[in-house]
Chain A
Amino acid sequence: MKSRSQAVLPVLKGKKESRLIERGGSENADMSNQHYKRKRDLYPYSLLSPALIGATLIILVPMLFALGLSFMNYVLYRPQDHAFVALQNYRRALGDEIFWLSVRNTFIWVIGVIALQVLLGFITALFLNRRFWWRGIARSLILIPWVTPSVITALMWRFMLDGNTGVINDLLVRLGFLNEYVPWLARSSSALPSVMIALMWQGFPFFSVMILAGLQAIPQELYEVAEVDGAKVHQKFYRITLPLVMPILLTAVLLRTIWVANSLDIIFIMTGGGPGYSTYTLPLYSYIRAYSGLDFGYASTLAVYLTIILVMLIAAYVIRVMRTEDLH
């Protein structure tokens, strides 16, 4: 049994050959196969090494340092108390009310924001893939949310959402959706959704660009054949577009999930985590503990928990990718 994602990976024309190569089967494929399967081939490693060295030095080393801190009592202003405490920080988090609130909010935040971004991004990409005279302009303009620095995005949305002077309230009242102004960011029930809208705005162009690029890999002939067979628009979408874009979409979702989970500048500027703890997410809580409490031990622990949660969230996807690769 081939999994679905593998079946769509090699695009049509190459499908037959590449399957043969994967299995190392036919004589014909063996020739080229040598290039890919030669034992102790250092070539792939040499291609990989620049990225690996860079990432190790600049990211992995600081990360291992922070990981180490998570097992320590490490409050910056108490240098005399720095000590190894094993799992004490981890246990402490499990009994911390704010930790659990943050975990809950992190799930809502990540799933909600990604769903909104993918949906809007996909629709936008499909439209922008069609030909019309102002396509170039539209493609450029939808990039604006993405290129606006976060501090501006956050402040702009905060003022547009303001309960006294906000333009969004004014528009909604004028259009008849609301009877009176709503203090969006001042209520626990509406603060998180409001911030999520702001992040959806900032992030959907990313998906549009990535999906747009992915759509280019679909050979036009497929649609022509389908049309000859009398396929409807939605059939073409579900049978051709979606499956063929899926691998790239999944990768984009995977990477963006990690990014969204970690993003805290918009939340911090818009609500500072409030009202109450209603917009606390794990990275925000970790940041607050680190830089206002200077408790880097506990903050690192919270960050490790975030990593664990993320690994769980994406495990299903990674396992599938890895299993597919095993078949190669």
Chain B
Amino acid sequence: MKKLTMLLILAVVTGGLLFGAGAREEVQTVEFWYHLDDPEQNLDELIDLFEAENPDIRIDAVHVPWGSFHDDLITAVAAGNPPDAAQVKLWWQPQLVEMNALQPLDGYLADWDGYDDVLDDLWELTMHSDGNQYYLPLQMVILYMYYRVDVFDELGLEIPETKEAFLDVARTITEEKENMYGFGIRGARGGHDYWGSFVLSSGAEFFDDQGNVVLDSPEAVEANQWYIDLYHEHQVSPPTTPADGFVEVIDNMLTGRTAMTIHHIGSAQQMHNQFGEDISAFPVPAGTVDRWTSFGDEQTAILARDQATQDAAWKWISFLATAEYNQMWNDISGQVSINKSNEDVDYGDINRFLEATLDSTPFAQILPPHPRIAEFVESTWPAEMQRAFQGEITSEQMMRNLANHFRD
């Protein structure tokens, strides 16, 4: 009996020593927040591959719901307990940088041999206005125009190159086809991408060279009036437009209620499944000055405070930005890789949408990096746009209100 007890104690002590020794080797844990649209997907496979390469790092990946991602991140940062690394959007960058939440990556990037394999445009787009690189590209999301090939063929329509030609096409479809509108406008949150393609391409600018707000310039008001008229005057978009978010816009397209809408490759498979070869894409038409389409981005960033965790976090996010693993990530998320060496990856059925994405890259742009841009996107723009669509305010009032958002 005594022997047994002794043996047990010995076992516990030895076990403790071994365990302690194991712990002393310092496994660095990296807490990483991400979001994916498909709840059935996860990062297990990527994490297994990474941890096999880096046995001293453990990835604690947290799938945060998209709906509360920004709020949770801000709360965690403000309460002094942020994740070590996170998936981030460009329009959060100005706020996060000002809050001192982000770690500049320039030091790491200088020594990173994957740098040259990332598309050059993406470095330009994601660099912050202070000249530092805080964000590491993760996905390439570029918006283009979906259109119904069969409807175009039936009515003998050409792909419009300018916004005036686009309006003609949209009006023709709305008039000729029963139960179908030419263009599905997204009037609720997120619709600034659509608005930008027609208004920011036609002389409207946020700031002039001196940094003054010029969003209410006469050119901008006129371009905005043109956009309001799509719904208000020409009614080429369904009556539900002011309330339509992405779900409604995509649904209207999938159910044949609209013949054109703007979105990215994330919807391509769904569209193809519904319409087969009857759906295709073209880059958004040019405005009166140039072309503008939205770069709907995803990046990663490091928020950890201490050097050791930062180093480990860098290994993880740079792992996600290397060609092989970035393609894996984008297979999961349904988007396009950021790497040059993945440009020839075959997307099978939906290759034509990859082409539209790449054709749109030269004029893909982002909204100006201003700390108030997040609120502009989430509340000011949708509210003012909806008022204008309903005729409650004029184009001039709308643009003045939008400009004042940056002035106060």
Contact = CB atoms under 8 A, between A and B. Distances in A.
Contacts of A292: 70, 374-375, 377-379
Contacts of B372: 293
A275 B390 contact: yes
Contacts of B377: 292
Contact of B390 (A188, A289, A293, A294): A188
Interface residues of A, number: 30
Nearest to A189: B390
B265 interface: no
Interface stretch (A15-23, A46-54, A161-169): A161-169
B375 A164 contact: no
B289 to A, nearest CB: 29
B241 interface: yes
Contact of B98 (A78, A164, A188): A78
B78 A185 contact: no
B188 interface: yes
A280 B386 CA distance: 13
A294 B248 contact: no
B287 interface: no
B238 A164 contact: yes
B392 interface: yes
B103 interface: no
Contact of A274 (B239, B240, B375, B383): B383
A76 B99 contact: yes
Interface in A63-115: 76-79
Interface stretch (B19-27, B202-210, B250-258): B250-258
B251 A76 contact: no
A278 to B, nearest CB: 8
A165 B255 contact: yes
B238 A275 contact: no
B242 A275 contact: yes
B382 A165 contact: no
Given A79-B100, A275-B390, A183 B239 contact: yes
A77 B371 contact: yes
A219 interface: no
A166 to B, nearest CB: 9
Interface of B: 67, 70-71, 74, 78, 94-96, 98-100, 187-189, 238-244, 248, 251-252, 255, 257, 371-372, 374-375, 377-379, 382-384, 386-387, 389-390, 392
Q: 10 closest A-B pairs (Cβ-Cβ)?
A: A275-B386, A77-B98, A186-B243, A163-B240, A276-B387, A292-B378, A183-B240, A293-B375, A185-B243, A275-B242
11 contacts: A79-B98, A151-B67, A163-B243, A164-B257, A185-B240, A188-B390, A274-B383, A276-B392, A277-B383, A288-B378, A293-B374
